[in-house]
């Protein structure tokens, strides 16, 4: 019976040619343990040499070595014939007649063209990073997936190793899925080259956007009846952008809203260098605080809004200690995220059956450069707002001036309000929020909501507004509540009236000259 028709086809010979050696030693050892002969190109062989894993040099099958400084080394019938040959009697006979060896697995990842361009956007040598032989090997192996398995990314290795360990060979279903991934990878790779070859690459907007679906679907979308998936930029290998940029340590799979809320929460905690905790509901903060310890930051953040915090996502920017979750007692938390977890803290959280616990890791996901949404059947894309508030942006427009502690609180509030849904108002006392009003159709309603949430805590607080006050009514509400200082963009036709209202209430007001809308 032909190997392609066997439930689990043995891997008798494997060709290894990788630019990224991640996971290579483990794969090579498992293949060798199953009696597979390894064939490696020169660079890949050096990694195997360091691990003392035996292999044959690819040039033993080609007889040509490296031509033209390595541009031609695998484009040869000695390799391609062994990959593309069918395993029926006629194909096996032709392999023997031509003195070729069959190859049952090809592990190739391509020259890092995309990474090279990202790191050297003005590079003139980009053509040297265009892989030809690797693309050909991947496409050949994928075409012949009835008999050959292809690994186009190190993240494919665990599935291959698992089937080898359990069944001694690879299934037709896995070979088909690996072939699909390989064609997807070569498509993305060629698209990246086509977008950038001969065109200057600048930090501005890319001339063409393309996205490739990751092999992952979310539990559901914004509502359970909506399907949802995660997409990554085309050309980004799964090794550089993981299928899931975090590890779910506890709880059921994540939903669309979990990821949206977590993205907001993580962006906020990254604003602050000190221990910080954030509570997010519906992609907008409902409690943010920094403190000398993470436990204190959590307690302060939780205290902002006892009503809105129900079912929230919580993120912190420090390792979560065993006693830190004490601040969350009595609070229904849907998801808790931290860079890492100390000791037995995960066991401590085990009594919360519905809680999802996410570990972001020591190397957190790369911050988004672009953000997108749809409108009228089109994709809207913009740069993520990362503009920093400079000291010169604190332009005083009233007689009163903020005290140094109030100025620090204004900076804190501004960093938070940029992440709240507009119209957005944040009241802060020191390094903690005491009231947040967001997503309101009028600015005065956002102020009223923030003041209502703060209650008595509004007295002596400071206020940040994500855009200008079109009327003085919001200032009147803030002044009556006891707000001492305000930071806002300014630029309204009624700025003189707004400033006059602040003067009457003795409020120190500052204009930044730029807004931070987040619709």
Query: Does residue 139 have a pLDDT over 80?
Result: yes
Same fold, 248-359 and 391-511: yes
Please state the CATH superfamily assignment of the domain spanning residues 248-359 in this structure: AICAR transformylase, duplication domain (3.40.140.20)
Query: Does residue 246 have a pLDDT over 60?
Result: yes
Copy the structure tokens of residue 458. Answer: 């509004």
The secondary structure of residue 246, as a DSSP letter, is S
Copy the structure tokens of residue 291. Answer: 């403190």
The pLDDT of 329-343, averaged and rounded, is 90
Surface-to-core class of residue 203, CB atoms within 10 Å of its CB (0-12 exposed, 13-18 middle, 19+ buried):
exposed
Q: Where are the domains of the chain?
A: 3-196, 248-359, 391-511
Report the pLDDT value the prediction gives residue 299, as an integer from 0 to 100. Answer: 94
**What does pLDDT average to over the chain?**
86
Rounded CA separation 462/404 (Å): 12
Rounded CA separation 372/405 (Å): 37
Distances (CA, A) of 386 to 283, 512, 516: 17, 15, 10
Residue range 292-305, pLDDT digits in tens: 999 999 999 999 99
Rounded CA separation 95/86 (Å): 9
Q: Does the domain at residues 391-511 carry the CATH identifier 3.30.830.10?
A: no
pTM passes above 0.95 = no
Q: Are 505 and 482 in contact (CB under 8 A)?
A: no
SS3 243: coil
Q: Which residues are catalytic?
A: 143, 282
Which range has the worst mean pLDDT, 71-85, 464-478, 496-510?
A: 71-85
Residue range 86-138, pLDDT digits in tens: 999 999 999 999 999 999 999 999 887 777 666 666 666 777 778 888 899 99
409: enclosing H helix or E strand:
helix 404-417
Q: Are 39 and 103 in contact (CB under 8 A)?
A: yes
Rounded CA separation 103/106 (Å): 7
Q: How many CA atoms lie within 13 A of 199 on its CB side?
A: 14
Report the pLDDT value the prediction gives residue 212, as an integer from 0 to 100. Answer: 53
Confidence of residue 211 (pLDDT cuts 50, 70, 90): low
Report the pLDDT value the prediction gives residue 237, as an integer from 0 to 100. Answer: 44
Count of positions (residues) in the chain: 519
Indicate if the alpha-carbon torsion angle 15, 20, 25, 30 is positive or negative: negative
**DSSP of 254-280:** P-HHHHHHHHHHHHHHTT-SS-EEEEE
Q: Are 29 and 53 in contact (CB under 8 A)?
A: yes
Q: Are 21 and 40 in contact (CB under 8 A)?
A: no
Q: What is the 3-state secondary structure (H, E, C) of 22-62?
A: CCHHHHHHHHHHCCCEEEECHHHHHHHHHCCCCCEECHHHH
Rounded CA separation 176/493 (Å): 64
Range list of H helices, 273-387: 294-302, 345-348
Residues 6+ away with beta carbon under 8 Å from 499: 397, 398, 509
Which range has the worst mean pLDDT, 144-153, 171-180, 313-322, 345-354?
A: 345-354
Highest mean pLDDT among 54-58, 265-269, 506-510: 506-510
Rounded CA separation 104/160 (Å): 12
**For helices 133-143 and 172-196, what crossing angle results, to 10°?**
150
Rounded CA separation 65/73 (Å): 6
Copy the structure tokens of residue 242. Answer: 């993981």
Residues 6+ away with beta carbon under 8 Å from 406: 462, 484, 485, 508
Phi then psi for 462, rounded to 5 degrees? -115, 160
Indicate if the alpha-carbon torsion angle 483, 486, 492, 494 is positive or negative: positive
Right CATH for 3-196 from 3.30.2420.10, 3.40.50.1380, 3.90.1150.10, 3.30.70.360: 3.40.50.1380
């Amino acid at each position: 019976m032909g190997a392609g028709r066997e439930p689990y086809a043995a891997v008798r010979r494997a060709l290894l040619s990788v630019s990224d050696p991640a996971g290579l030693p483990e794969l090579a050892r498992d293949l060798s343990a199953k009696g597979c002969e390894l064939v490696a190109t020169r660079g890949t062989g050096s990694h195997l040499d360091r691990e003392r894993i035996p292999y044959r040099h690819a040039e033993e099958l080609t007889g040509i070595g490296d031509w033209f400084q390595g541009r031609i080394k695998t484009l040869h019938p000695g390799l391609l014939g062994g990959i593309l040959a069918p395993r029926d009697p006629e194909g096996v006979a032709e392999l023997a007649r031509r003195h070729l060896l069959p190859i049952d697995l090809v592990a190739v990842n391509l020259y890092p063209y995309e990474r090279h361009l990202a790191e050297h956007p003005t590079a003139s040598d980009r053509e040297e990073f265009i892989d030809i032989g690797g693309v050909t090997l991947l496409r050949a192996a994928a075409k012949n997936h009835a008999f050959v398995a292809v690994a186009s990314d190190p993240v494919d290795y665990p599935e291959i190793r698992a089937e080898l360990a359990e069944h001694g060979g690879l299934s037709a279903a896995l070979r088909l899925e690996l072939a699909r991934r390989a064609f997807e990878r070569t498509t993305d790779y060629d698209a990246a080259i086509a977008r950038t070859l001969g065109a200057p690459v600048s930090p501005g907007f890319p001339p063409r956007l393309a996205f490739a679906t990751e092999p992952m679907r979310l539990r559901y979308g914004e509502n359970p009846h909506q399907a949802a998936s995660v997409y990554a930029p085309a050309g980004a290998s799964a090794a550089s952008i993981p299928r899931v940029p975090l590890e779910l340590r506890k709880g059921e799979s994540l939903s669309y809203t979990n990821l949206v809320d977590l993205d907001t929460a993580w962006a906020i905690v990254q604003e602050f260098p000190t221990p910080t905790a954030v509570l997010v509901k519906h992609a907008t903060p409902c409690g943010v605080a920094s403190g000398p310890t993470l436990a204190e930051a959590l307690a302060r953040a939780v205290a902002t809004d006892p009503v809105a915090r129900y079912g929230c996502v919580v993120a912190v920017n420090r390792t979560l200690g065993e006693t830190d979750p004490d601040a969350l007692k009595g609070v229904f938390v849907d998801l808790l995220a931290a860079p890492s977890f100390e000791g037995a803290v995960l066991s401590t959280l085990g009594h919360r059956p519905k809680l999802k616990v996410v570990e972001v890791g020591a190397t957190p996901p790369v911050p988004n450069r672009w953000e997108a949404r749809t409108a009228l059947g089109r994709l809207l894309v913009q740069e993520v707002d990362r503009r920093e508030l400079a000291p010169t942006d604190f332009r005083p427009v009233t007689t009163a001036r903020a005290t140094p502690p109030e100025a620090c609180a204004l900076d804190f509030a501004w960093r938070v309000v940029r992440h709240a849904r507009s119209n957005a108002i944040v009241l802060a006392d020191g390094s903690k929020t005491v009231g947040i009003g967001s997503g309101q159709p009028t600015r005065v309603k956002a102020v009223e909501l923030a003041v209502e949430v703060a209650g008595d805590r509004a007295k002596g607080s400071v206020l940040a507004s994500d855009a200008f006050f079109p009327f003085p009514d919001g200032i009147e509400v803030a002044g009556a509540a006891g707000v001492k200082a305000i930071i806002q963009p300014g630029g309204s036709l009624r700025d003189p009236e707004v400033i006059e209202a602040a003067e009457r209430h003795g409020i120190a007001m500052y204009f930044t000259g730029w807004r931070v809308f987040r619709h």
